[in-house]
A and B are shown apart, each in its own frame.
Chain A
């Protein structure tokens, strides 16, 4: 798991790193760098070609469904999901990787979708808040959020739930400290944290 995470961290690319690497200003071309991008030809454009500034076709698997969109190469995953696929459950709050409101999973691992380029997703599977409940059944964390009143305005809630679901799916018997650690990057201005903690611990207990 740890090992896996490290590998991902190397292969997936932050937006800032990406922009710096490609030497872009605002809306120039994007160099798809074979050493950095995980395209395998199945989804998205092949390696080593340059794209943009015009829109290109990008494919990715989101919540189990293959989605094709036409977007400019500079499009973030957050924008692709929200503006191109209508999956507006994912929220953009800071747009610079400091609030976790935009958290989605790439191959099951939480990332900030505002810091991930859509073209960088490649064949990694995307899971958004819309994909957390299965066949109309809420995830225990979602149930517990309702039960413990763990959202006020609710704008941080999708990101919070992504962080908490990832915790309970990957750790048995999490402690309060574990929950705080899992949500350490999630900003909630309404101050709903105490109920988020309670809800997540309760969900973990019920999943045993």
Chain B
């Protein structure tokens, strides 16, 4: 590919903004200036799907109603570990209104069943004329179990002789993003798998003994986090209409492509015979990337009945079977010199993702601070509980909760302001600016732990995070311009509430000199070009450069047609405010509308993907240079009589490259912070170790913050230009969530002078820490 050189803005405005020359492919556009000089990008642009959302006309998967549609319900195991001797569906089949029944089997004859490994594992399903009928029919299915011993508690499961979840080695599984490597499920003893000792950032480094011998202070602590579930307001589910020529799937998903590929491979269908549509989806937070078991079930029921089948899970099923953030028992030993320099970090962790893998603590301890000597051992512990799934910055939220409290405690041992300590050990330039601007906005003035007097004690805390910039190169966008002046953007990418649909319009509008509302965006459908799943904060960095590139190419096509009419060269043309004009001769111009009307064809289009990052990747598969940093500050008040903690305010200082839509970024940061507060103080999956059932599988006993628990959130957004792609923009979904729980924990410590090493910090645990109740 032919290349050319271009000058790009580089650095942080107000800090070190400069320029840099990059070599870029010829079919990608020249650099945009910084946001200040742009018209649509970097502004507060209204969401282009907001009208549908506020009027109730937005159709989510759960709202899809097709002619002749049946409603389905799955039967789930009510014991945590068992062999299934028989499943008798005859009564269910005879129940009036039932149209199809399907049983999951593990052999072709349909007489063998997979062993039950957790209470809630799907076994069979019924499609009927109404959901109530389907529920009745499911209750009529008779299952004969041969129950077996099981283990729910993580530490019990680690013991020798504990009931085994898997007798035989399990295959490789990816880890849902927690450390960024693939676990080998065959390694390990008993219910233990692992350890994972490296990530894509590398493995152990230096010499730990040497490091600890150089340390003036050594901290040795264990941090514990709970299992928490995603609770998207719209549950997992699909509506599937399997016709002979095509399987049409409406899916509440973070990845139209993932669901298509999953179902195509499950049923051995060509990819083009499966069409997946997701126009609106009600939240996922990491758990909705695949077709799950409900997808194949709905497809089977649709095939058997010849009718479309609606299969959305209920709230309880969502909690028990569709993902959770694994817990962690996270051991950190850290050495530091008097001046704060870290000399060694030794990390070891255990956690359970139930019957799945992926319970690590991420790369935070490995990558956030400068430390020459490091090692990690991260173990998965299998238990008879529902499978974990990626959950906003998987692994790293648990990891940050431990590491950022440890750093706080080291600052305390060294009698220094924890913000000052971070200044010393954090090599990141952008986080330096985040600390400065964040501290100023928050009004950070360090005060010694426990120094507030009175019954209600206030405290402040700070914590940081890092998240990689991932880029998925399988990202394509098509831009079409019609002779009636309309512009359409098409991509398979889905908008999970983050605002992807709107930023695509902004990027294309900026490139074409139009307004965001001039652009129609059609996404969330696999008939359009492939795009990545919405996970890992990948989408913005992956899909907006192709959108801009495609708009640039279609603009060139239009210039080629317009140039002769204006008696000039295409290269002399530019766009602005709906006009195409000569760069030097203001009299030579034509409105975009007229230019399109005069086209030789009714439409012109171009599709584009994106090149490797300008300057290349850190890892060839798409690990970009730089990171997505955050520094979050928290103020809490703790009632020392009731143990009640209130998070008063949070200042969240963030960077995500070139910000595209300020209000949408703020929305996502608010969400990440609120989920972090919830993780720190409220939510926890409660399992009954005696029965293996989840005890709080609803939204009232599974506690989450509502309006009255919401702190004031102040957001400091730092623009950072690194000249890596045609938009230089990145996501913010994960970074928003990583540091909050640790910042809150540090603030609680600062308030009461006693540190809790476990979340959620409930009133009971606070009172215990204060010695106000019996241990």
Instruction: List residues of A whose CB falls within 8 A of some B CB.
Output: 26-27, 72, 74, 79, 82-83, 86-96, 98-99, 101, 128-130, 132-133, 138, 142, 145-149, 151-158, 161, 179-181, 183-197
CA distance A157 to B666 in the complex (A): 17
Complex alpha-carbon distance, A194 and B673, angstroms: 11
Q: How near does chain B come to A57, taking the closest CB pair, in angstroms?
A: 16
Residues of A within 8 A of B704 (CB): 187, 189
The residue from A128, A179, A184, A186 contacting B56, defined by CB atoms under 8 A apart: A128
> Could you say which interface size class chain B belongs to?
35 or more
Most chain A Cβ neighbours within 10 Å, of B130, B136, B233, B700: B233
Chain B residues whose CB sits within 8 angstroms of the CB of A86 once the complex forms: 65
CB distance from B650 to the nearest CB of A (A): 10
- A98: chain B residues within 8 A (beta carbon): 698-700
How would residues 314 to 340 of chain B score, 1 for a CB under 8 Å from any chain A CB and 0 otherwise? Answer: 110000000000000000000000000
The answer to whether A152 and B706 touch across the interface, beta carbons within 8 angstroms, is no
* Residue in A145, A155, A191 whose CB lies within 8 Å of B672: A191
CB of A53 to closest CB in B, whole Å: 10
Per the 8 Å Cβ criterion, residues 33-70 of B in contact with A are 44, 46-47, 49-60, 62-63, 65
Residue of B nearest to A195 (CB): B667
Q: A27-B136, A189-B232 are in contact. Are A96 and B700 (CB under 8 A)?
A: yes
**Residue numbers in B under 8 Å from A180 (CB-CB):** 707-708, 710
Select A93's contact among B51, B52, B699, beta carbons within 8 Å.
Answer: B699
A154-B710 in contact (CB<8A): no
> In the complex, what's the smallest C-beta–C-beta distance from A16 to chain B, in angstroms?
13
CB of B674 within 8 A of chain A?
yes
B598 vs chain A, min Cβ distance (A): 35
- B700 near A152 (CB under 8 angstroms)? no
B residues with CB within 8 A of A: 44, 46-47, 49-60, 62-63, 65, 130-132, 136, 139, 230-234, 280-283, 285, 314-315, 496-499, 663-664, 666-668, 670-675, 698-700, 704, 706-708, 710, 712-713
Q: Judging by beta carbons under 8 Å apart, are B51 and A146 in contact?
A: yes
Query: Which residues of the partner chain B approach A184 to less than 8 Å between Cβ atoms?
Result: 706-708
Residues of B within 8 A of A153 (CB): 232-234, 280-283, 496-497
- Docked CA distance A127–B28 (Å): 52
Q: Which residues of B contact A138 (CB under 8 A)?
A: 51, 54-55
State whether B55 touches A132 (Cβ < 8 A): yes
Does B63 lie within 8 Å of A82, measured CB to CB? yes
B672 to chain A, nearest CB (A): 7
Q: Is the pair A99, B233 in contact by a Cβ cutoff of 8 Å?
A: yes
* Contact of A146 with B47 at beta-carbon distance under 8 Å, contacts A153-B497, A158-B56, A184-B707 already known: yes
In the complex, the answer to whether A154 meets B57 with C-beta atoms within 8 Å is: no
Q: Nearest-CB distance from B52 to chain A (Å)?
A: 8
CB of A123 to closest CB in B, whole Å: 24
Instruction: For residue B230, give the distance in angstroms from its CB to the closest CB of chain A.
Output: 8
Contact B63 A161, beta carbon cutoff 8 Å: no
Give me 10 A-to-B residue pairs in the complex whose CB atoms sit less than 8 angstroms apart, sorted by A's number. Answer: A27-B136, A86-B65, A90-B56, A96-B698, A133-B55, A152-B668, A179-B707, A192-B670, A192-B671, A193-B707
Q: Contacts A90-B56, A156-B233 given; indicate if A148 touches B663 (C-beta within 8 A).
A: yes
Task: Please measure, in the bound complex, the distance between the C-alpha atom of A2 and the C-alpha atom of B78, giving whole angstroms.
Answer: 46
